[in-house]
């Protein structure tokens, strides 16, 4: 819980910032607070059986891993003696705790019941975190006190906790909640904002805990948050604890109206001391150094845990976590290049001792309105491609973007050339095919006239050439074109024999202007014979077999032209 009503008092200092605000940072997590949050989301028996709270933890962690956010779990140790009455009241007379009564005269702390359901959940969370390369620091007593100390000593950039008394232990940056939807965000509070906007320092917040009530003290009965804030501000942050230490809370009760005429409460000094000097591992201890060390991702171990807890196959686990691991490695590579640049070193990509994790950019992507790239990875077993933010590629390996753009430009140029070449080839093929098919149709018409009479040969030749250039065709083939060509060639040979023995004939189209008036018999005999042929009679002169073949050929020509154009 922390301090009663403190989150409401700090509401004006609350900030909601994007999740990527945590990239390249180290954060401490009050593990009990996270597990309570995740458990509250899934309290049903079915959800507990399916370990939904652990799945939620897994997805939180992989989102932070992708940002190269170094997470350190901090677990609760023993229960402080000063908190014992509060803890037993919450847990219904101590079902979750057992006495550590080595001294029957005074109990200094209580060891937690490691066999309880919640303790088993904490154990599972630690195992999952270790497989992901996340260490866990077991606190001496309060986890939020240990987180606050690490933050106060600048060993981490912030603390995740929903206990508001973390500020009283000295925390400077607190993340109360995390959300992964819509790109993700976190709810953040800065002690600097609390001091500036509200005028409350750490001493003032401890004074508020005594007035309003907290885990260590019940507070002043009947005193609300507004009155408590006014009292603390009236004394000032520098003097408020000194006044309480010397006078107790009698002055506050009197200002409230003298309802509670109680003697000085000696527990007040114990509360102040518990917040100012909590029992924690010191910042320079070996335990802390080990917890802050970087641990390796254990892929096989993670497969085993996810199979056992979630019944996931290895491929599904890899699909979730490997893209996050790859993106984290790329962010670390980007940090290396940025640091080198700040030192005046800007070696080419291929000369950097650490190999770039990106093999090449595959294509452009857009995810939730954000520009991204799909990339392939170097030697990432189980992962071929994944999507990463474009700005990350720009900072880590801008050379890959240049290579990608050059490949795109070259491919575009090749496609243009290919289309032009194909268009030219198509035009050439159409012209060549037109010529061949005109000759084929001409042969058919010539052969048909040869079988009827030689006098119509000249007209049929003219008609064949004219008909091919003016007719509109549609095609539905009923025969073999080679058969038509063979038949037409044979007919053409036969026709040529017939033509050699015939007189030259002049053909006149009745649709053209009328011929000149007839001359005398002598004049006619001295000139070539002229035969007038009606165009409408030509089709009637063709054999049924050749009519069908000519029709099929015209339909075929029409289909070819339609496809070519």
DSSP-derived secondary structure for 158-218:
EEE-S-GGGTTTT-SEEEEEEE-STT-EEEEEEHHHIIIII---HHHHHHHHHHH--SS--
Q: Which residues form the domain of 326? A: 316-405
Q: Is the pLDDT of residue 501 over 90?
A: no
In tens, the pLDDT along 186-235 reads: 999 999 999 999 999 999 999 999 999 999 998 888 889 999 999 999 99
Q: How does residue 113 score in pLDDT terms, banded at 50, 70 and 90?
A: low
Distance (Å, rounded) from C-alpha 158 to C-alpha 167? 11
Tell whether 220 and 325 lie within a shared domain.
Answer: no
Residues 6+ apart with CB under 8 A from 22: 64, 67, 69, 157, 158, 186
Q: How does residue 550 score in pLDDT terms, banded at 50, 70 and 90?
A: confident
Residues 6+ apart with CB under 8 A from 39: 48, 53, 118, 121
Q: What is the pLDDT of residue 110?
A: 67
Tell whether 281 and 359 lie within a shared domain.
Answer: no
Q: What is the CATH number of the domain that holds 60?
A: 3.40.50.1010
Distance (Å, rounded) from C-alpha 254 to C-alpha 69? 50
Which segments of 30-96 does DSSP mark as H helices, in order? 31-41, 45-49, 52-66, 84-90
Tell whether 229 and 354 lie within a shared domain.
Answer: no
In three-state secondary structure terms, 480 is coil
Could you tell me if residue 30 is inside a domain? yes
Other CB atoms within 10 Å distance of the CB of residue 99: 11
Distance (Å, rounded) from C-alpha 351 to C-alpha 213? 62
Q: Is the pLDDT of residue 492 over 90?
A: no
Could you tell me if residue 355 is inside a domain? yes
HSE-up (13 A, CA, CB side) for residue 403: 12
Give the domain-ending residue among 380, 405, 430. Answer: 405
Could you tell me if residue 41 is inside a domain? yes
Could you tell me if residue 514 is inside a domain? no
Longest dimension (CA), the chain: 159
Q: What is the pLDDT of residue 169?
A: 97
Strand partners, 388: 373
> Does residue 99 contact residue 110 with C-beta atoms inside 8 Å?
yes
Mean pLDDT of the 365-384 span = 93
Could you tell me if residue 437 is inside a domain? no
Give the domain-ending residue among 405, 434, 454. Answer: 405
Other CB atoms within 10 Å distance of the CB of residue 540: 8
Q: How does residue 270 score in pLDDT terms, banded at 50, 70 and 90?
A: very high
pTM of the model: 0.72
- Structurally, the chain folds into a number of domains equal to 2
Residues 6+ apart with CB under 8 A from 281: 137, 139, 140, 146, 149, 287, 288
498-521: burial string, b at 16+ Cβ within 10 Å, e else: ebeeeeebebeeeeeeeeeeeeee
The residue length of the chain stands at 565
Other CB atoms within 10 Å distance of the CB of residue 216: 22
Tell whether 61 and 135 lie within a shared domain.
Answer: yes
Tell whether 377 and 276 lie within a shared domain.
Answer: no
Could you tell me if residue 477 is inside a domain? no
Distances (CA, A) of 175 to 13, 16, 136, 183: 12, 10, 18, 17
Tell whether 138 and 225 lie within a shared domain.
Answer: yes
Block residue for tokens 């901090």: 74
Closest by CA position to 304, among listed 316, 314, 319, 296 = 314
In tens, the pLDDT along 400-458 reads: 999 999 999 998 888 888 887 777 777 777 777 777 777 777 777 676 555 554 444 44
> Does residue 241 contact residue 205 with C-beta atoms inside 8 Å?
no
Q: How does residue 44 score in pLDDT terms, banded at 50, 70 and 90?
A: low
DSSP label of 533: E
Tell whether 70 and 193 lie within a shared domain.
Answer: yes
Could you tell me if residue 126 is inside a domain? yes
Q: Is the pLDDT of residue 177 over 90?
A: yes
Other CB atoms within 10 Å distance of the CB of residue 320: 15
Q: What is the CATH number of the domain that holds 399?
A: 2.40.50.40
In tens, the pLDDT along 55-104 reads: 999 999 999 999 999 999 999 999 998 988 777 776 664 444 444 433 43
């Amino acid at each position: 819980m922390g301090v009663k009503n403190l989150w409401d008092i700090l509401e004006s200092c609350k900030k909601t910032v994007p999740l990527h605000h945590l990239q390249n940072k180290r954060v401490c997590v009050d593990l009990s607070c996270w597990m309570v949050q995740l458990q509250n989301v899934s309290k049903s028996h079915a959800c507990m059986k399916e370990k939904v709270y652990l799945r939620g933890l897994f997805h939180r962690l992989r989102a932070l891993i992708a940002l190269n956010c170094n997470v350190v779990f901090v677990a609760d140790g023993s229960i402080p003696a000063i908190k014992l009455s509060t803890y037993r009241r919450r847990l219904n007379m101590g079902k979750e705790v057992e006495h550590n009564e080595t001294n029957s005269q005074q109990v200094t702390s209580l060891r937690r019941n490691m066999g309880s359901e919640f303790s088993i959940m904490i154990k599972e969370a630690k195992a999952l975190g270790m497989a992901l390369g996340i260490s866990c620091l077991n606190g001496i007593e309060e986890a939020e006190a240990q987180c606050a100390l690490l933050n106060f000593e600048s060993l981490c950039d912030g603390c995740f906790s929903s206990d508001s008394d973390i500020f009283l232990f000295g925390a400077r940056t607190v993340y109360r909640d995390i959300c992964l939807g819509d790109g993700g965000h976190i709810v953040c509070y800065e002690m600097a904002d609390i001091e500036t906007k509200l005028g409350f320092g750490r001493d003032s917040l401890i004074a508020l805990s005594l007035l309003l009530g907290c885990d260590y003290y019940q507070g002043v009965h009947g005193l609300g948050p507004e009155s408590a804030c006014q009292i603390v501000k009236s004394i000032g942050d520098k003097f408020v604890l000194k006044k309480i230490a010397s006078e107790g809370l009698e002055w506050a009760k009197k200002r409230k109206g003298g309802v509670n005429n109680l003697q000085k409460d000696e527990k007040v000094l114990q509360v102040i001391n518990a917040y100012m000097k909590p029992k924690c591992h010191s910042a320079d201890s070996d335990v802390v150094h080990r917890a802050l060390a970087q641990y390796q991702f254990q892929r096989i171990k993670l497969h085993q845990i996810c199979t056992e807890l979630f019944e996931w196959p290895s491929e599904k686990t890899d699909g979730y976590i490997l893209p996050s691991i790859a993106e984290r490695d790329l962010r670390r590579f980007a940090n290396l290049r940025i640091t080198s640049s700040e030192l005046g070193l800007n070696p080419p990509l291929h000369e950097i001792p650490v190999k770039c994790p990106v093999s090449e950019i595959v294509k452009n992507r857009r995810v939730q309105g954000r520009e991204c790239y799909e990339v392939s990875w170097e030697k990432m077993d189980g992962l071929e491609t994944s999507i990463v933010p474009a700005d990350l590629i720009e900072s880590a390996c801008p050379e890959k973007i240049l290579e990608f753009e050059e490949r795109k430009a070259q491919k575009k140029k090749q496609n243009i050339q290919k289309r032009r070449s194909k268009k030219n080839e198509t035009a050439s093929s159409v012209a060549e095919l037109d010529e061949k098919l005109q000759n084929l149709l001409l042969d058919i018409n010539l052969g048909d006239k040869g079988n009827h009479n030689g006098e119509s040969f000249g007209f049929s030749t003219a008609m064949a050439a004219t008909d091919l250039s003016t007719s509109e065709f549609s095609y539905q083939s009923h025969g073999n074109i080679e058969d038509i060509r063979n038949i037409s060639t044979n007919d053409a040979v036969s026709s040529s024999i017939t033509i050699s023995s015939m007189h030259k004939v002049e053909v006149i189209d009745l649709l053209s202007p009328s011929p000149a008036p007839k001359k005398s018999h002598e004049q006619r005999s001295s000139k070539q014979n002229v035969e007038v042929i009606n165009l409408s009679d030509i089709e009637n002169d063709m054999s049924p077999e050749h009519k069908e073949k000519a029709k099929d050929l015209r339909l075929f020509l029409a289909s070819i032209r339609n496809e070519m154009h």
